[in-house]
Amino acid sequence: MKTNPAATVSLHVVLVFLAGVSLMPLLWLVCATVKRGDDLFAYALLPWDHLDRLTLNNFRELFARESFGRWLLNSLFLASTHTVVVVMLSSLGGFALAKYRFRGKKPLMLMMLGTMLLPSQVLLPSSYELMNQFGWINSYLAVLVPGAVSVFGLFLFRQTIATTVPDDLLAAGRVDGCSEFRLWWDVVLPVVRPMTGAFTLMSFLAAWNSFLWPQIVLQDEGKYTLPIALANMVGLPEYQAEYGVLMAGTLVSIAPVVLLFAILQKEFIAGLSSGAVKG
């Protein structure tokens, strides 16, 4: 099939333009972090005629005046722990739902699907009361344990494993003496690696941006995550005129997600497209 060079060039020009428009807010954010307060709104991007006015004081003030480093570590710990736990449990549960037969399997799956119809906000009062009875208020357990199981992740792995892992491969592993746990680790996970990478990125992003539930159960300022800390900083009088410091905090908060996407981008794209083609 012949392609029209003019149409191809026009398409690339349009795509580059749309990409530039999409990236403009991020570019403005990066430029705002290295500008002084009086230059923030005086120049659209950078003061090209006064590049000597660029500074890193916004980052210095960010880490010097507040416990921003601790909040960053809190978010990294919670998001990383949540991601590891939810990916492991989702892949194990998906493996069981896809390849095992047991009594009550269909009613259990229907009940799990039914929980996805309930908005998370509806469960906030009961969840808070349960965490209070366990004595987990102001504890990271209140953040990690309720989110350890993802029904979406269970069914995502269940569908992927059911369509990509043949039963003969599992039977061959059992003949060779593999335990069920080793089958999951050495056979199933390598086959569904693209979906694992995609779900890892989605889980980390959801945990990293989580705001409502951590704000409710975490009451000690030293245990705050970045979304809570940044929201509180916006309301502080000393930051209402120092937008550069807030922009620096915003840039630091999105850096881990961008880095993880750069690492897992191949698996993410392959995982999302794995179900687009039958067979």
Looking at residue 47, its amino acid is P
Dihedral sign from CA coordinates of 176, 182, 184, 189:
negative
Q: Which two tokens stand for residue 244?
A: 């550069």
Cα 223 from chain centre: 19
Q: Which helix (H) or strand (E) holds 88?
A: helix 68-99
Q: Which two tokens stand for residue 133?
A: 């009875």
Helix 68-99 with 243-273: angle, nearest 10 deg = 20
More confident residue, 265 or 278: 265
Q: Which two tokens stand for residue 143?
A: 């953040």
**Nearest residue to 184 (alpha-carbon basis) of 194, 174, 195, 197:** 174
Q: Indicate whether 1 pLDDT > 60.
A: no
More confident residue, 41 or 225: 225
Q: Indicate whether 155 pLDDT > 60.
A: yes
Question: If you average pLDDT over residues 12-22, what whole number do you get?
Answer: 90
CB count within 10 Å of CB 100 equals 9
Write out the DSSP string of 29-64.
HHHHHTS-GGGTTTSSS--GGGGGG---HHHHHHHH
**pLDDT for the residue numbered 98:** 93
More confident residue, 204 or 241: 204
| 82, 147 Cβ separation under 8 angstroms | yes
Question: If you average pLDDT over residues 54-68, what whole number do you get?
Answer: 82
Q: Indicate whether 77 pLDDT > 90.
A: yes
Q: Which two tokens stand for residue 43?
A: 């120049």
Q: Which two tokens stand for residue 25?
A: 């807010």
Q: Indicate whether 81 pLDDT > 90.
A: yes
Using pLDDT thresholds of 50, 70 and 90, give the confidence band for residue 66.
Answer: low
**pLDDT for the residue numbered 273:** 59
CB neighbours of 191 closer than 8 A, spacing ≥ 6?
Answer: 161, 164, 165, 169
The string of pLDDT tens digits covering residues 83-101 is 999 999 999 999 999 999 9
The string of pLDDT tens digits covering residues 224-273 is 999 998 888 776 555 555 778 888 888 888 888 888 888 877 776 766 65
| 209, 79 Cβ separation under 8 angstroms | no
Using pLDDT thresholds of 50, 70 and 90, give the confidence band for residue 117.
Answer: confident
Helix (H/G/I), strand (E/B), else coil: 97: helix
More confident residue, 42 or 164: 164
Q: What is the CATH number of domain 67-273?
A: 1.10.3720.10
Average pLDDT value over all residues in the chain: 86
Q: How many percent of the chain have pLDDT more than 90?
A: 41
Question: If you average pLDDT over residues 3-16, what whole number do you get?
Answer: 84
Q: Which two tokens stand for residue 152?
A: 């979406």
**Which residue carries 């369509």 as its tokens?**
163
Write out the DSSP string of 152-211.
HHHHHHHHHHHHHS-HHHHHHHHHTT--HHHIIIIIIHHHTHHHHHHHHHHHHHHHHH--
Q: Indicate whether 40 pLDDT > 80.
A: no
Question: If you average pLDDT over residues 67-75, what whole number do you get?
Answer: 90
**Nearest residue to 115 (alpha-carbon basis) of 146, 140, 141, 137:** 146
135: left (phi over 0), alpha (psi -120 to 50) or beta: left
Looking at residue 50, its amino acid is H
Q: Indicate whether 111 pLDDT > 50.
A: yes
More confident residue, 206 or 45: 206
Using pLDDT thresholds of 50, 70 and 90, give the confidence band for residue 36.
Answer: confident
Least confident of 50-54, 87-91, 215-219: 50-54
